[in-house]
Amino acid sequence: MPLHTRASRHLQLLDRVVDSVGRGVRAGRRGVQDQILSATFLMVGLSTFFMSTVGVRLPIFQGPANEYIIPLLTLERSARMEVSITGRTRNSQTRVVHCDDAAVAVEYYANTTTNVTDLGKVLPMPKEFIYHHVQRMSGSLMAAGAVHFLIAVTGLAGCLLRFIGPVTIVPAITLVGLYIFKVVVRFSETFWGVAVLTAATGIILSLYLAKRSTPIPFWSRSKGFHIIWYPLHQVFALLIAMMVGWGVSAILTTADVLSSDRNNVQFYARTDTRSHVITNSPWFSFPYPGRFGAPSFDTGIFIGFLLATLMSILDSIGDYSACARTCYVPQPPNWALNRGLAVEGFMSFISGALGIGHATSSFGGNIGAMGLTRVASRRVFQGVGIMYVFFSIFNKFGAVFVTIPYSVLGGCQIVTIGLFIGIVLSNLQYIDLRSTRNVAIIGISLLVGLMIPHWMEKTPNGIRTGSIDLDRTIGILLTNPVFVGGFLACFLDNTVPGTLEERGLSKHSSKEELSKGPADDHFEEGLEVYDIPYVQKYMEKSRITKVCRIFPGGSSTSSSTSSDTTRDEEERLGCLKDGDTAGLHSTNM
């Protein structure tokens, strides 16, 4: 798939995640969100480049992890204090909303020369308060990224899969998709007509016309002018849908059909709503650690991020396996899996240092695109990574994509998130759905995962232990559906009696799934595809391989002889025994 197509498919997700980060830190100031977006571009570019170069070395796109949207939305709710507190500033009497400490905000503005009348009688969150929340998220994400990295280099990722199978993964990640609907509504409600049109265009092109080809006029010396048939409309389905929605939004904006009142929800469906971002964005800016101040730590945020990290690890392992099958290469050895996860963990740590507030993870949606287009190249993804780094440094180019109307983004999300939920549910094929045990665990986990967070939203002061910090930590956990549903599913799955086959952890099915290749048993490359050029043979001889499980042990490469291949196959299975990966499937979009 062309570079610009891959980039455009994910820019709408970047804006969605950055919007969630901004709301989570109460960043109403556009400048702060611009800085977060710039840093996000940088980390997406670096993660994608290094993942395909020194990570698992498969063509996998790295972007903001969907799993982190839930903790960010939870943080938004915990940080919000919608109170009607009136205080007198130097200019006039005003009401403070959306502030952790309204009284402090009143005092803050009382000591400034801010014209409150121009602010519409509502005090925006001071930048100092925003930085405080970013610092809490930064330190917590750095800690979660460090745990992610340690799990990878020590080889613990495979061992975790012995306790976390499809019965746990399905309700946990399904709850991510079900809760993201709030983000989709937030964008789509700006103008439902454009959102539905965008979604319908994408659905028609990608599903209804999936088996059709587009006639394309072509000329060559040998055949002259002729028609070639290619599913162009399917390859560019999302991009075409975005352009259609954007064009209709431009017409509605020009005709003044959409409200120009900033307080009206339709205002953000206009094409000129955020045009000032291009003007105000600097030509050159480079994100750096400590931009928002020294990182701090928050236990509740850390636990939420840690849960998202564990889900991201499971998701990435499934993505690596699916990508290898799509690329017609052997399944990645255990040390290659660990190396890919180590890159994700390290990049998540750097993301925290930059103040982004979300980790990076593999995107399974690109794997399906590769299967469709038959284009799977590391160089393409290395080029995509360089493109995102370019956008992060030269802000005006990246700012163009920020101007996409919210309704268009909402329409794209209807398609992509709907597909995301469907892919998650496809993991049910690995378990016995005739088992009352399995359907009961999944059903109860989904119900409780929706019920408890809903109760916490309705009763924010329902937890009273006598300790404010403990109340807040428990509140953040119980408002996180992934924690509630995933923890309950994991507990029940590992305590309620059931066979490995019943749970989707069959040893036979796992090794069969892991060892077999494509349908014709033909690989275009061997295990050497996972070797890092120039340094692999030196690292294999190093003693560090006994502690750091990101290279195969021994003095010979993994591809030298057939016996080495057998040895690496056994090493790859390692902790991944008893069918641990049978139920893993690509889930990120």
pTM, two decimal places = 0.67
Residue 30: is its pLDDT beyond 60?
no
- Please state, in angstroms and as integers, the Cα–Cα distance from residue 345 to each residue in 143, 312, 354, 367, 532, following that order: 10, 10, 14, 21, 19
Q: Exposed e or buried b for every residue in 510-532, given b needs 16+ CB within 10 A?
A: bbebbeeeeeeeeeeeebebbbb
pLDDT tens, position by position, 339-350 = 899 999 999 899
240 residue type, one letter: I
Q: What angle do CA 13, 14, 16 make, to 5 degrees?
A: 60
Listing DSSP states for 193-217 in one string gives HHHHHHHHHHHIIIIITTT--EEEE
User: Which has the closest alpha carbon to 344: 47, 39, 38, 18?
Assistant: 47
37 residue type, one letter: L
CA–CA gap between residue 436 and residue 422 (Å, rounded): 22
Count CB atoms within 10 A of the CB of residue 298: 22
- Please state, in angstroms and as integers, the Cα–Cα distance from residue 408 to each residue in 101, 432, 575, following that order: 35, 40, 45
pLDDT tens, position by position, 106-137 = 555 555 555 544 444 445 556 666 777 778 88
Beta strands 93-96 and 85-88: pairing type? antiparallel
High-pLDDT (> 70) share of the chain, %: 70
| β-pair partners for 362 | 62
> Do 343 and 54 meet the contact criterion of CB atoms below 8 Å apart?
yes
3-state DSSP assignment of residue 377: coil
The better pLDDT of the pair 254, 102 is held by 254
pLDDT tens, position by position, 206-217 = 888 878 877 888
Q: Tell me what pLDDT residue 545 has.
A: 67
User: Which has the closest alpha carbon to 252: 292, 210, 192?
Assistant: 192
| β-pair partners for 62 | 362
Query: What average pLDDT does the structure give for the chain?
Result: 73
CA–CA gap between residue 17 and residue 358 (Å, rounded): 8
> Which DSSP state fits 205?
I
3-state DSSP assignment of residue 178: helix
CA–CA gap between residue 438 and residue 167 (Å, rounded): 7
Contacts of 464 (CB under 8 A, 6+ apart): 471
pLDDT tens, position by position, 421-479 = 777 787 788 788 888 999 999 999 999 999 998 898 888 778 888 887 788 778 877 88
Q: Please, where are the H alpha helices in 374-405?
A: 378-393, 395-402
pLDDT tens, position by position, 143-171 = 999 999 999 888 887 677 778 788 888 88
CA–CA gap between residue 319 and residue 309 (Å, rounded): 15
Q: Tell me what pLDDT residue 491 has.
A: 92
At 437, which helix (H) or strand (E)?
A: helix 436-458
Distance between the two ends of the chain, CA-based, in angstroms?
16
Count CB atoms within 10 A of the CB of residue 372: 16
Q: Tell me what pLDDT residue 143 has.
A: 92
Domain ranges of the chain: 1-78+129-495
Radius of gyration in angstroms for the set of CA atoms belonging to the chain, rounded to a whole number: 25
